[in-house]
């Protein structure tokens, strides 16, 4: 059943559950962060409306910088502003930032230790019709490999708002991963959020047989699977991993200890992603059978979100199969 302490949206399993794009929550959060601290500034690479920076740009035109289609300049100018005490948020599509400007982020932001917040919107395969060139499914790997970088991947618009506000205050470089399409609202304003803390979203009444660790928009699908399997007598616990780095190793190990089998769920390449981060932790401290939901070393293509999520085996059916498969592997 849904975790009580997480204070989630009780309508999450209804057919008409409210939906909103995760990026929308970022736009709202940035405006709040901007009102709270006048050092917060925003820079965009010619995608102000679609990355939802327009709310901030309208309210604070003097603190908004239009950089044009120049992602290398986007992050390096932001680094310079951070050197003067600003807290810059930079937004583009994840494929271009951090996709195109990785070395500039490394040298001028993380190596340089500047608290720039890199917002990768339209991440994942679910961006859909634009096709494979625009589907960033490598960005988690690119960002989590960098020392000092905090990597956040909120599961819905409300969590994205909280993640944005928290990022403005944490004092470090941050990568914030957002999705384009509308996805179910899972959390509520009352759901706790803390950078570095994973949260149990769904807990079976009895001891869990399998633990799912999910991140981003696919958390909703993981919850659907846990819900429907509980009716079939399979006890699945679901943890929402909104902070991929630093990894909440305590939460990961507690889940592995209880369930003895793990399925990781992410809209990203399996290589180097969130599942890899979990596997690095488990391999060292508590080797546990694990199945990985994600893209298997392929590029995406045009299609609707649902078509692509299903084609690349990240839908409820695929997650359920992974749960059953890892159950078989338990000793």
Partner 1 sequence: MSDLSDQKVKELELQANSIRISIIEMLVEAGSGHTAGPLGMADIFTALYFHILKHDPKKPDWAERDRLVLSNGHICPVYYSTLAHAGYFPVKELLTLRKFGTRLQGHPHREYLPIVETSSGPLGAGLSQAVGMAIADRMDKGVSSDRFIYALTSDGEHDEGNTWEAVLMAGKEKLHNLIAIMDRNNIQIDGFTEDIMPLESVRAKYEAFNWHVIEIDGHDMREIVDAVEQAKAIFEKPKMIIAHTIPGKGVKEFERKYEWHGKPPNKEEAAMALKELRTLGGKIRSEHE
Tell me which stretch binds partner 1 (CB under 8 A): 13-21, 79-87, 196-204, 254-262.
79-87
Please report whether residue 85 would count as binding partner 1 according to CB under 8 A. Answer: yes
What's the min distance (Å) between Cβ of 143 and partner 1? 18
Please report whether residue 92 would count as binding partner 1 according to CB under 8 A. Answer: no
What's the min distance (Å) between Cβ of 285 and partner 1? 29
CB atoms < 10 A from the CB of 129, how many? 12
User: Cβ contacts of residue 203 below 8 Å, gap of 6+?
Assistant: 1, 3, 237
Please report whether residue 80 would count as binding partner 1 according to CB under 8 A. Answer: yes
Please report whether residue 65 would count as binding partner 1 according to CB under 8 A. Answer: yes
The dihedral over CA atoms of 263, 269, 272, 278, expressed in degrees to the nearest 10, equals -10
What's the min distance (Å) between Cβ of 59 and partner 1? 15
* Contact between residue 75 and residue 108 where contact means Cβ atoms under 8 Å apart: yes
Please report whether residue 70 would count as binding partner 1 according to CB under 8 A. Answer: yes
Q: Considering the complex, state which of residue 86 and residue 162 has its C-beta at the smaller distance from partner 1.
A: 86
Please report whether residue 311 would count as binding partner 1 according to CB under 8 A. Answer: no
The Cα-based distances of 58 to 78, 126, 162, 303 in angstroms read 19, 28, 21, 33
Query: CA 15, CA 88: separation in Å to the nearest integer?
Result: 39
Is 71 labeled as catalytic in the residue annotation?
A: yes
Tokens of 62: 């003097």
Q: Which positions from 97 through 136 interact with partner 1, judged by CB under 8 A? A: 103-104, 107-108, 111-113
Please report whether residue 72 would count as binding partner 1 according to CB under 8 A. Answer: yes
Tell me which stretch binds partner 1 (CB under 8 A): 74-82, 128-136, 219-227, 295-303.
74-82
Q: Considering the complex, state which of residue 87 and residue 226 has its C-beta at the smaller distance from partner 1.
A: 87
Please report whether residue 13 would count as binding partner 1 according to CB under 8 A. Answer: no
Q: Is 113 helix (H, G, I), strand (E, B) or coil?
A: coil
Q: Considering the complex, state which of residue 73 and residue 254 has its C-beta at the smaller distance from partner 1.
A: 73
Please report whether residue 61 would count as binding partner 1 according to CB under 8 A. Answer: no
Q: Cα 27 to chain center, whole Å? A: 16
What's the min distance (Å) between Cβ of 104 and partner 1? 5
Write the DSSP string, 154-188.
Answer: -SSHHHHHHHHHHHHHS-S-EEEE---SEEE----
Residue 151: Cβ-neighbour burial (10 angstroms; 0-12, 13-18, 19+): buried
Q: Considering the complex, state which of residue 10 and residue 107 has its C-beta at the smaller distance from partner 1.
A: 107
Q: Which positions from 16 through 55 interact with partner 1, judged by CB under 8 A? A: 41
Beta strands in 104-235 (DSSP E): 117-121, 150-152, 174-177, 182-184, 199-202, 210-214
Catalytic residue among 28, 71, 159, 181: 71
Q: Considering the complex, state which of residue 85 and residue 233 has its C-beta at the smaller distance from partner 1.
A: 85
* Contact between residue 11 and residue 18 where contact means Cβ atoms under 8 Å apart: yes
Please report whether residue 172 would count as binding partner 1 according to CB under 8 A. Answer: no
Q: Considering the complex, state which of residue 86 and residue 122 has its C-beta at the smaller distance from partner 1.
A: 86
Residue from 15, 62, 206, 284 touching partner 1 (CB under 8 A): that is 62
* Helix/strand/coil percentages in the chain, nearest 5: 40, 20, 40
* Contact between residue 28 and residue 2 where contact means Cβ atoms under 8 Å apart: no
Q: Considering the complex, state which of residue 115 and residue 211 has its C-beta at the smaller distance from partner 1.
A: 115
The secondary structure of residue 2, as a DSSP letter, is B
Please report whether residue 78 would count as binding partner 1 according to CB under 8 A. Answer: yes
Indicate which residues carry an active-site annotation.
71
Q: Which residues bind partner 1 (CB under 8 A)?
A: 41, 62-63, 65, 67-68, 70, 72-73, 76-86, 88, 103-104, 107-108, 111-113
């Amino acid at each position: 059943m849904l975790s009580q302490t997480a204070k989630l949206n009780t309508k999450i399993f209804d057919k008409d559950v409210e939906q909103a794009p995760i990026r929308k929550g970022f736009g709202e959060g940035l405006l709040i962060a901007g009102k709270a601290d006048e050092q917060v500034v925003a820079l965009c690479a010619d995608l102000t409306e679609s990355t939802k920076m327009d709310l901030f740009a309208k309210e604070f035109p003097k603190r908004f910088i239009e950089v044009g289609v120049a992602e290398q300049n986007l992050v390096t100018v932001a680094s310079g502003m951070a050197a003067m005490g600003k807290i810059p948020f930079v937004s583009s599509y994840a494929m271009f930032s951090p996709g195109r400007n990785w070395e500039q982020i490394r040298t001028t932001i993380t190596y340089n230790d500047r608290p720039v917040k890199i917002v990768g919107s339209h991440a994942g395969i679910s961006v859909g019709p634009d096709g494979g060139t625009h589907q960033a499914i490598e960005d988690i790997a690119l960002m989590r490999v960098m020392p000092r970088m905090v990597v956040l991947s909120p599961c819905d618009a409300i969590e994205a708002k909280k993640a944005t506000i928290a990022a403005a205050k944490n004092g470090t470089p941050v990568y914030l991963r957002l999705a384009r399409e509308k996805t179910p609202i899972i959390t509520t304003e009352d759901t706790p959020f803390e950078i570095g803390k994973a949260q149990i979203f769904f807990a079976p009444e009895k001891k869990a047989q399998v633990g799912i660790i999910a991140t981003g928009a696919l958390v909703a699908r993981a919850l659907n699977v846990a819900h429907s399997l509980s009716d079939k007598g399979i006890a699945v616990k679901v943890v929402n991993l909104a902070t991929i780095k630093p990894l909440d190793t305590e939460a990961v190990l507690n889940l592995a200890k209880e369930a003895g089998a793990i399925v990781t769920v992410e809209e990203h390449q399996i290589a180097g992603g969130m599942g890899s981060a979990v596997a690095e932790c488990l391999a060292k401290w508590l080797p546990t059978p694990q199945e990985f939901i994600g893209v298997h070393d392929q590029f995406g293509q045009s299609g609707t979100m649902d078509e692509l999520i299903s084609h690349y085996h990240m839908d409820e059916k695929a997650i359920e199969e992974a749960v059953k498969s890892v159950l078989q592997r338990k000793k």
